[in-house]
Structure 1
Amino acid sequence: MQLPMRGRVALPSHPIALAVVAFVSYAVAVELYYLAFGLADALTPVATFFPPAGLALTLFLGSPYSRWPVVVGAIWGAEVTVDVLHGVAFWDCALWGVANTVEPMVAAVLLWGFIRPEGRNNIASTRHLMAFLGSAVLAGPAVGALIALPSAPAGDLETLTGFWSRWWIGDGIGVLVVTPLLLILGNSRPRERSWGAPWLALVTVLSAITLGPAQPVAHGRGAYLLLPTLVWIAFRASPLTSAAAVFIVGLSANLATLAGVGPFVEPGRPYVGQANAQIFIGTVAFSALLVVVLSANLIQRDKVELVVRHQARTDVLTGIGNRRMLFDRLDGFRSTHALQAGDPIAFLLLDLDDFKRVNDRFGHAAGDLVLKTIADRLVMATRSDETVVRFGGDEFLLCLTKSCSPDQVRALSGRLSAVVAEPIAIGTESVQVVASIGVAEGLWGDFNPDEFLRRADEEMYSAKRRPLPGTSFRSPGGS
């Protein structure tokens, strides 16, 4: 799962512009949180997670160290401004601002410390994912909750512990739900797959059913029907779609619990309902994120294997197949029964006569150009179902199947000799090379690759001994 961790989020580089973006975005997030909280029933004055915590971490991860003071000032100012406007005491506002700036800084420093520099731009493995969970979801919020502890209501140790744990878990889940989505959205790289609107529509409908007022299954168990849906989306859709789906589920559970409806509400025991909702959100978010990482790794491994397999079967210089590709294709004919006993098959082994003279006169770069040109001509002169490979050095081999009667093979051999002999421009001169071609024909039922190659090689050397014109060089206008 490519979750950018540094230098990928599209944040302004100018300090003033960065300060404005950070201040406005964080202030809006906190104000939206207050609006949602204001809609809650008086018996449930708690929220399951704090989305601005995820935004704050994203702002730090997307900014270089030199701009962190700007981000700190913007977040602290936004926190204090919005809290004061909602009637919170200035001392508490100032303390919350410190907590909500130190918290993401600690998370970002720890995260970059655990992940090697070359892997800081993404969570590409389960190791990186665990570093993200430990640093950003657990450690950072724990420090922030400790800083904010003096603002807790006066009470005994249980009251202080409850305040600290609610802050810690609420901010941690906010990071887990919000940060992946924001980081992927800010990724400047082109995305391989789109949003996946049908998936998000499905998640929205299921969230309304399983997290709404009408509960077909008691004690919140029905909400966990969303888990297999999120896991399926993580396998089938893009990381962006999966992160958006997790955000929809988490936000739905948060708003439903705040409004006093849904499977997690416990009348008269608001903090029990909050804890149940947090367990649910944390479980589905972590499960989906883990599946996204694992599936992305599997997809990446498949891509690497395909590239390696292609490279192993492709001639590096000319781009056509090599000896291994030829024998793989022959094995494919055998395993798929694409050829039956009695079907004709033929090898044409082509060697460039006196090719060494090209390298001696013009250099190896010119020799490579000649080989690539000849390879392109051979491909253009054959059908798509005919195999053309560079067999080694200045030798090429064509494998013909199905419609390859002796007359057709002879006609193709003559056509190949003609296209090979066409002049090739090298600087102010041109070169003509002549090919000797050896042919081995037979039937698939009697086919033996080694025997065919031996026969084609003998025919090729017999062709070389015939009186044919050699390699020649000439200027474009000369003779």
Structure 2
Amino acid sequence: MAPVVGTHELSRRAVVALQTLAVAACYYGAGWLGLLRQLSVEGAVFTPIWPPSGVAVAALLLLGITSCFGIALGALLVVLSLSSFSSFQPSVIGIVAGNTIAPLCAYLLLRRVRFRPDLSRLRDGLALVFLAALGSMMISATVDVGLLVLQDKLAAEGFWPVWLAWWVGDAMGVLIVTPILLMLYAVRGPVGLSRWKEAAVLLVAACVIVPLATRSDISMLFLVYPLLIWAALRFELPGSLVCALFASVMATVAATDEVGPFDELSHTAVMIKLQAFNGSMALTALLLSAVITEQRNTRRSVERACQELVQVLEHLTAGNSSPRPPPAENDGRG
């Protein structure tokens, strides 16, 4: 019995080690993607969308609290890569701690409210927005920007503008990346698409309208919202999330290139305009699709209950309409 128990324990540790390395690799890869596009506010460089925060929250929701080790390792690799692995300062520990504690708090808060990863209820969308994204990501923004001030890399008066940019970037990672990862994890086998013609038309429309809206000299970012509503109404969460991700990436590229509606603006104005657009778009896509999914699930439940009621009534009717046996004849003996 002892060798069997030891083998199971060894297998469990091997699985945890592999999960840790996988989460760390995904976190580092997401960080590398996020650093491809950067903005500067008050001399501090930040990313408009920080995908690792979304990867961290999704890993905790899908794999459990042991993912913290992988998140911490991935955050450490990202921080060291920014300094070319040449120095390990005490502030690195604080940054890694902040980037690990923030998604952990998001995970614990979501568990507290019984969050469902399928985002089939409006309350799940609201919990992801306000508890995980807007609430918990304040921790990482406060720790990271506070360390910049303590190291004299950022003036004290520049704390709040940089904090706001940092916070929104982390929150956007949760709002955009986490739902997509949860959706991909739930996919099982080939996905049938009954409305493939409509999906193709939506794809073509997005490829035409989104680049036009994000790179035109005339401010036409509002043209993206009809696409989001169309995607949410017809394709629910998968359609709206993919559309929101594409629009967010295109808007971020335009903002960092300072073209289209972001031309001739100060760095602070570019940050505010971009983050306002990304945030409102992600909220629209997530909450609208959650409402639609919840309503459709409710309608299906009502239809199922009505079908069961009809079957019960048919059974009762059939029982009442069956012929009764004739009464026994009196033979005169009674």
TM-score tier, shorter chain, comes to 0.7 to 0.9
Mark the CA change 1:34 to 1:112 in structure 2 (over 3 Å): closer, same or farther. same
Kept after mapping to 2: 8 A contact 1:124/1:297? yes
RMSD over equivalenced CA pairs, Å: 3.2
C-alpha displacement of 1:183: 0.9
The SS at the match of 1:237 is helix
Counterpart position of 1:432: none
Structure-1 separation of matches of 2:94 and 2:204: 40
**Which deviations, in whole Å up to 9, do the C-alpha atoms of 1:182-218 show, x marking residues without a partner?**
1111115579764945434432322111102x33x3x
Counterpart position of 2:8: none
Kept after mapping to 1: 8 A contact 2:214/2:221? yes
Kept after mapping to 2: 8 A contact 1:211/1:253? yes
Mark the CA change 1:204 to 1:89 in structure 2 (over 3 Å): closer, same or farther. farther
Counterpart position of 2:202: 199
Q: Which amino acid aligns with 1:33?
A: G
Counterpart position of 2:137: 141
The SS at the match of 2:37 is helix
Normalized against structure 2, the TM-score is what?
Answer: 0.81
Q: Does 1:248 align with 2:175?
A: no
Q: Does 1:151 align with 2:154?
A: no
Counterpart position of 1:4: none
Structure-2 separation of matches of 1:200 and 1:174: 23
Kept after mapping to 2: 8 A contact 1:46/1:271? no
Structure-1 separation of matches of 2:232 and 2:31: 29
Kept after mapping to 1: 8 A contact 2:133/2:172? yes
Q: Does 1:208 align with 2:211?
A: yes
Q: Does 1:282 align with 2:279?
A: yes
Kept after mapping to 1: 8 A contact 2:172/2:279? yes
Counterpart position of 2:5: none
Kept after mapping to 1: 8 A contact 2:202/2:227? no
Which structure 2 residues correspond to residues 150-189 of structure 1 after superposition, within 5 A? 150-152=147-149, 154-187=153-186
Structure-1 separation of matches of 2:20 and 2:242: 26
Q: How many residues align?
A: 308
Structure-2 separation of matches of 1:201 and 1:184: 23
Mark the CA change 1:47 to 1:68 in structure 2 (over 3 Å): closer, same or farther. closer
Kept after mapping to 1: 8 A contact 2:23/2:71? no
Structure-1 separation of matches of 2:236 and 2:58: 20
Q: Which amino acid aligns with 2:95?
A: W
Structure-2 separation of matches of 1:233 and 1:247: 12
Q: Which amino acid aligns with 2:243?
A: A
Q: Which amino acid aligns with 2:107?
A: A
Q: Does 1:229 align with 2:232?
A: no
Which structure 2 residues correspond to residues 36-435 of structure 1 after superposition, within 5 A? 36-37=37-38, 47-65=47-65, 67-85=66-84, 90-91=89-90, 93-113=92-112, 115-116=113-114, 119-148=115-144, 149-152=146-149, 154-187=153-186, 194=193, 196-212=199-215, 214-215=216-217, 217=218, 220=219, 222-267=220-265, 269-315=266-312, 321-322=314-315, 391-392=318-319, 395=321
The SS at the match of 2:318 is strand
Mark the CA change 1:86 to 1:251 in structure 2 (over 3 Å): closer, same or farther. farther
Normalized against structure 1, the TM-score is what?
Answer: 0.58
Mark the CA change 1:163 to 1:266 in structure 2 (over 3 Å): closer, same or farther. same
Counterpart position of 1:15: 16
C-alpha displacement of 1:161: 1.3
The higher radius of gyration belongs to 1
Higher fraction of helix: 2
Higher fraction of strand: 1
Structure-2 separation of matches of 1:62 and 1:185: 11
**Which deviations, in whole Å up to 9, do the C-alpha atoms of 1:130-152 show, x marking residues without a partner?**
22212111111101111112124
Mark the CA change 1:183 to 1:142 in structure 2 (over 3 Å): closer, same or farther. same
Q: Percent identity?
A: 21
Kept after mapping to 1: 8 A contact 2:118/2:183? no
Deviates more, 1:152-161 or 1:178-187: 152-161
C-alpha displacement of 1:167: 0.9
The SS at the match of 1:123 is coil
Mark the CA change 1:197 to 1:311 in structure 2 (over 3 Å): closer, same or farther. same
Counterpart position of 1:372: none
Structure-2 separation of matches of 1:188 and 1:260: 37
Greater RCO (Cα-Cα under 8 Å, separation 6 or more) = 2
Kept after mapping to 2: 8 A contact 1:126/1:293? yes
Kept after mapping to 2: 8 A contact 1:76/1:100? yes
Structure-2 separation of matches of 1:44 and 1:257: 16
C-alpha displacement of 1:37: 3.7
The SS at the match of 1:391 is helix
The SS at the match of 1:85 is coil
Kept after mapping to 2: 8 A contact 1:30/1:82? no
**Which deviations, in whole Å up to 9, do the C-alpha atoms of 1:355-386 show, x marking residues without a partner?**
xxxxxxxxxxxxxxxxxxxxxxxxxxxxxxxx
C-alpha displacement of 1:235: 0.8
Deviates more, 1:300-309 or 1:87-96: 87-96
Structure-1 separation of matches of 2:168 and 2:209: 25
Kept after mapping to 2: 8 A contact 1:57/1:104? yes
Structure-1 separation of matches of 2:45 and 2:222: 24
Deviates more, 1:146-155 or 1:16-25: 146-155
Mark the CA change 1:191 to 1:167 in structure 2 (over 3 Å): closer, same or farther. farther
Q: Which amino acid aligns with 1:206?
A: I
Counterpart position of 1:25: 26
Unmatched 5+ residue regions in structure 1? 1-11, 324-389, 397-459, 466-479
Counterpart position of 2:6: none
